[in-house]
Amino acid sequence: MPTPGEVSLAHRGVLFLDEMPEFRRSALEALRQPLEDCTVRISRAAASLSFPADFQLIAAMNPCPCGFLGHPDRPCSCTPVQVARYRARISGPLLDRIDLHLWIDPVDASGIFNRGQGASSHEVRARVEAAREIQLARGFINARIPQESMERICRLDTASRGMLVNAVKRAALSMRALGRVIKVARTIADLEGSPSIRDVHVAEALQFRPGMVED
Ligand SMILES: [Zn+2]
Protein backbone atom coordinates (compact mmCIF):
# COMPACT_ATOMS: atom_id res chain seq x y z
CA MET A 1 0.00 0.00 0.00
CA PRO A 2 1.46 3.42 -0.88
CA THR A 3 2.39 5.53 2.13
CA PRO A 4 2.98 9.30 2.28
CA GLY A 5 6.49 10.31 1.24
CA GLU A 6 8.61 13.33 2.08
CA VAL A 7 6.54 15.80 0.03
CA SER A 8 3.38 14.82 1.93
CA LEU A 9 5.14 14.87 5.28
CA ALA A 10 6.12 18.46 4.37
CA HIS A 11 2.46 19.38 3.64
CA ARG A 12 1.79 22.97 4.85
CA GLY A 13 5.44 23.27 5.73
CA VAL A 14 8.90 23.45 4.22
CA LEU A 15 10.73 20.75 2.29
CA PHE A 16 14.42 21.60 2.45
CA LEU A 17 16.84 19.82 0.13
CA ASP A 18 20.45 20.52 0.98
CA GLU A 19 23.02 19.72 -1.74
CA MET A 20 20.21 19.41 -4.28
CA PRO A 21 22.34 17.94 -7.12
CA GLU A 22 23.23 14.97 -4.89
CA PHE A 23 19.63 13.71 -5.02
CA ARG A 24 18.68 11.10 -7.60
CA ARG A 25 17.42 12.63 -10.83
CA SER A 26 14.19 10.63 -10.60
CA ALA A 27 13.54 11.92 -7.06
CA LEU A 28 14.06 15.53 -8.19
CA GLU A 29 11.88 15.16 -11.28
CA ALA A 30 9.11 13.66 -9.12
CA LEU A 31 8.86 17.07 -7.40
CA ARG A 32 7.56 18.73 -10.56
CA GLN A 33 3.99 17.45 -10.39
CA PRO A 34 3.35 18.24 -6.69
CA LEU A 35 4.96 21.67 -7.17
CA GLU A 36 2.25 22.36 -9.79
CA ASP A 37 -0.76 20.64 -8.24
CA CYS A 38 -0.02 20.64 -4.49
CA THR A 39 -0.94 16.95 -4.42
CA VAL A 40 1.06 13.87 -5.23
CA ARG A 41 -0.37 10.86 -7.06
CA ILE A 42 1.12 7.47 -6.43
CA SER A 43 0.13 4.65 -8.75
CA ARG A 44 0.80 1.05 -7.91
CA ALA A 45 -0.64 -2.12 -9.40
CA ALA A 46 -3.02 -2.45 -6.47
CA ALA A 47 -4.11 1.14 -6.04
CA SER A 48 -3.71 4.73 -7.14
CA LEU A 49 -3.77 7.26 -4.33
CA SER A 50 -3.45 10.99 -3.96
CA PHE A 51 -1.77 12.54 -0.95
CA PRO A 52 -1.74 16.24 -0.07
CA ALA A 53 1.61 17.90 -0.86
CA ASP A 54 1.26 21.66 -0.49
CA PHE A 55 4.77 22.52 0.61
CA GLN A 56 7.33 25.25 0.21
CA LEU A 57 10.44 23.94 -1.52
CA ILE A 58 13.76 25.37 -0.38
CA ALA A 59 16.88 23.91 -1.93
CA ALA A 60 20.58 24.68 -1.69
CA MET A 61 23.44 23.81 -4.00
CA ASN A 62 27.06 24.79 -4.51
CA PRO A 63 28.19 26.70 -7.60
CA CYS A 64 30.39 23.72 -8.59
CA PRO A 65 31.40 20.29 -7.21
CA CYS A 66 34.30 21.67 -5.12
CA GLY A 67 32.18 24.59 -3.90
CA PHE A 68 34.63 27.44 -4.52
CA LEU A 69 33.69 28.74 -7.98
CA GLY A 70 33.43 32.54 -7.66
CA HIS A 71 35.03 32.52 -4.19
CA PRO A 72 37.09 35.69 -3.61
CA ASP A 73 40.07 33.92 -1.95
CA ARG A 74 39.98 30.22 -2.71
CA PRO A 75 40.54 28.69 -6.14
CA CYS A 76 38.01 26.34 -7.75
CA SER A 77 39.53 23.02 -8.78
CA CYS A 78 36.75 21.99 -11.17
CA THR A 79 36.94 21.85 -14.95
CA PRO A 80 34.25 23.65 -16.98
CA VAL A 81 32.87 20.24 -18.01
CA GLN A 82 32.56 19.17 -14.35
CA VAL A 83 30.75 22.42 -13.51
CA ALA A 84 28.37 22.01 -16.46
CA ARG A 85 27.66 18.38 -15.57
CA TYR A 86 27.00 19.28 -11.93
CA ARG A 87 24.54 22.04 -12.81
CA ALA A 88 22.80 19.92 -15.43
CA ARG A 89 21.68 17.55 -12.67
CA ILE A 90 18.87 20.03 -11.98
CA SER A 91 16.63 20.07 -15.04
CA GLY A 92 15.35 23.27 -16.64
CA PRO A 93 11.69 22.37 -15.96
CA LEU A 94 12.44 21.93 -12.25
CA LEU A 95 14.43 25.20 -12.09
CA ASP A 96 11.47 26.88 -13.80
CA ARG A 97 9.22 25.92 -10.90
CA ILE A 98 11.43 27.61 -8.32
CA ASP A 99 10.38 31.24 -7.94
CA LEU A 100 13.38 32.79 -6.20
CA HIS A 101 16.94 31.95 -7.17
CA LEU A 102 19.57 33.56 -4.99
CA TRP A 103 23.32 33.57 -5.35
CA ILE A 104 24.80 33.74 -1.85
CA ASP A 105 28.31 35.13 -1.56
CA PRO A 106 30.62 33.56 1.03
CA VAL A 107 30.70 35.31 4.40
CA ASP A 108 33.61 37.71 4.65
CA ALA A 109 35.39 36.67 7.88
CA SER A 110 36.18 40.26 8.83
CA GLY A 111 32.48 41.13 8.68
CA ILE A 112 31.19 38.41 11.02
CA PHE A 113 30.86 40.78 14.00
CA ASN A 114 29.98 43.82 11.94
CA ARG A 115 26.35 43.16 11.08
CA GLY A 116 25.62 46.54 9.55
CA GLN A 117 22.27 48.28 9.45
CA GLY A 118 20.04 45.57 7.97
CA ALA A 119 16.38 45.28 8.98
CA SER A 120 15.71 43.20 12.10
CA SER A 121 13.77 39.93 11.87
CA HIS A 122 11.02 41.65 13.83
CA GLU A 123 10.68 44.38 11.19
CA VAL A 124 10.75 41.89 8.33
CA ARG A 125 8.11 39.75 10.00
CA ALA A 126 5.77 42.73 10.34
CA ARG A 127 6.27 43.56 6.64
CA VAL A 128 5.60 39.98 5.56
CA GLU A 129 2.48 39.72 7.72
CA ALA A 130 1.13 43.00 6.29
CA ALA A 131 1.77 41.76 2.73
CA ARG A 132 -0.02 38.47 3.44
CA GLU A 133 -3.02 40.33 4.85
CA ILE A 134 -3.26 42.37 1.65
CA GLN A 135 -3.16 39.13 -0.35
CA LEU A 136 -5.72 37.28 1.76
CA ALA A 137 -8.07 40.28 1.44
CA ARG A 138 -7.89 39.74 -2.35
CA GLY A 139 -8.83 36.11 -1.84
CA PHE A 140 -5.55 34.29 -2.49
CA ILE A 141 -1.93 34.40 -1.46
CA ASN A 142 0.00 35.35 -4.57
CA ALA A 143 1.48 31.92 -5.25
CA ARG A 144 -2.06 30.53 -5.53
CA ILE A 145 -3.71 33.17 -7.71
CA PRO A 146 -5.73 31.20 -10.29
CA GLN A 147 -5.15 31.96 -13.96
CA GLU A 148 -8.59 33.56 -14.39
CA SER A 149 -7.86 36.11 -11.66
CA MET A 150 -4.37 37.04 -12.85
CA GLU A 151 -5.44 39.97 -15.00
CA ARG A 152 -7.53 41.50 -12.22
CA ILE A 153 -4.97 41.07 -9.43
CA CYS A 154 -1.74 41.45 -11.38
CA ARG A 155 -2.47 44.28 -13.81
CA LEU A 156 0.71 45.40 -15.58
CA ASP A 157 1.53 48.84 -16.98
CA THR A 158 3.11 49.31 -20.41
CA ALA A 159 6.68 49.52 -19.11
CA SER A 160 6.28 46.31 -17.10
CA ARG A 161 4.85 44.47 -20.09
CA GLY A 162 7.70 45.63 -22.30
CA MET A 163 10.25 44.39 -19.80
CA LEU A 164 8.65 40.93 -19.66
CA VAL A 165 8.29 40.68 -23.45
CA ASN A 166 12.01 41.47 -23.74
CA ALA A 167 12.93 38.79 -21.21
CA VAL A 168 10.84 36.20 -23.10
CA LYS A 169 12.39 37.30 -26.43
CA ARG A 170 15.90 36.93 -25.06
CA ALA A 171 14.84 33.41 -24.01
CA ALA A 172 15.75 34.32 -20.46
CA LEU A 173 12.19 33.51 -19.44
CA SER A 174 9.97 30.56 -20.35
CA MET A 175 6.22 30.97 -20.65
CA ARG A 176 5.77 28.96 -17.47
CA ALA A 177 8.20 31.19 -15.61
CA LEU A 178 6.44 34.30 -16.89
CA GLY A 179 3.40 33.80 -14.66
CA ARG A 180 5.65 33.09 -11.70
CA VAL A 181 7.66 36.29 -12.26
CA ILE A 182 4.44 38.32 -12.38
CA LYS A 183 3.34 36.82 -9.05
CA VAL A 184 6.72 37.58 -7.48
CA ALA A 185 6.44 41.17 -8.78
CA ARG A 186 2.97 41.34 -7.20
CA THR A 187 4.52 40.22 -3.89
CA ILE A 188 7.32 42.79 -4.09
CA ALA A 189 4.69 45.48 -4.70
CA ASP A 190 2.64 44.19 -1.74
CA LEU A 191 5.71 44.30 0.53
CA GLU A 192 6.05 47.97 -0.43
CA GLY A 193 2.35 48.57 0.10
CA SER A 194 2.01 49.54 -3.56
CA PRO A 195 -1.48 48.83 -4.99
CA SER A 196 -0.13 48.63 -8.56
CA ILE A 197 2.73 46.58 -9.99
CA ARG A 198 5.32 48.94 -11.46
CA ASP A 199 8.32 48.28 -13.70
CA VAL A 200 10.72 48.46 -10.72
CA HIS A 201 8.85 45.55 -9.13
CA VAL A 202 9.04 43.52 -12.36
CA ALA A 203 12.76 44.34 -12.72
CA GLU A 204 13.41 43.10 -9.19
CA ALA A 205 11.34 39.94 -9.75
CA LEU A 206 13.36 39.17 -12.91
CA GLN A 207 16.57 39.30 -10.88
CA PHE A 208 15.43 36.19 -9.04
CA ARG A 209 15.31 34.05 -12.20
CA PRO A 210 18.25 31.74 -12.95
CA GLY A 211 20.75 33.13 -15.41
CA MET A 212 19.62 36.74 -14.96
CA VAL A 213 22.39 37.89 -12.62
CA GLU A 214 24.64 35.14 -11.25
CA ASP A 215 28.17 34.21 -12.46
ZN1 LIG B 1 34.91 24.08 -8.15
* Predicted local distance difference test score (pLDDT) of residue 73: 87
Output the CATH code of domain 6-98. Answer: 3.40.50.300
pLDDT attached to residue 211: 66
CA of 31 to the centre of ligand 1 (A): 27
What pLDDT, on a 0 to 100 scale, did the predictor assign at position 117?
74
Residues 181-202: what's their mean pLDDT?
A: 96
**pLDDT higher than 60, residue 215:** no
Residue 68, pLDDT above cutoff 70: yes
> Of the ranges 48-62, 92-106, 107-121, 190-204, which one carries the lowest mean pLDDT score?
107-121
Taking only the tens place, the pLDDT of each residue in 124-182 is: 999 999 999 999 999 999 999 999 999 999 999 999 999 999 999 887 788 888 999 99
Compute, in angstroms, the gap from residue 208 CA to the centroid of ligand 1: 23
* C-alpha of residue 12 to centroid of ligand 1, in Å: 36
CA 67 to ligand 1 centroid distance, Å: 5
**17-21, 96-100, 138-142, 167-171: range with lowest mean pLDDT:** 167-171
Delimit the domains of the chain by residue range: 6-98, 121-206
- Between the CA of 110 and the centroid of ligand 1 the distance, in Å, is 23
| Range list of H helices, the chain | 6-9, 25-29, 32-37, 80-87, 92-96, 121-138, 147-153, 158-169, 175-192, 199-206
pLDDT of residue 213: 46
For 122-182, give the DSSP string.
Answer: HHHHHHHHHHHHHHHHHTS-GGG--HHHHHHHS-B-HHHHHHHHHHHHTTSS-HHHHHHHH
CA of 28 to the centre of ligand 1 (A): 23
Residue 115: pLDDT band by 50, 70, 90 thresholds? low
For residue 86, the CA-to-ligand 1 centroid distance in Å is: 10
CA of 108 to the centre of ligand 1 (A): 19
Alpha helices in 1-115 (DSSP H): 6-9, 25-29, 32-37, 80-87, 92-96
Residue 122's pLDDT band (cuts 50, 70, 90): very high
Give 101 Cα–ligand 1 centroid separation in angstroms: 20
Task: Report how far ligand 1's centroid is from the alpha carbon of 30 (Å).
Answer: 28
pTM: 0.86
Residue 109, pLDDT score: 76
Q: Ligand 1 centroid to 96 CA: how many Å?
A: 24
pLDDT band for position 26 (cuts 50, 70, 90): very high
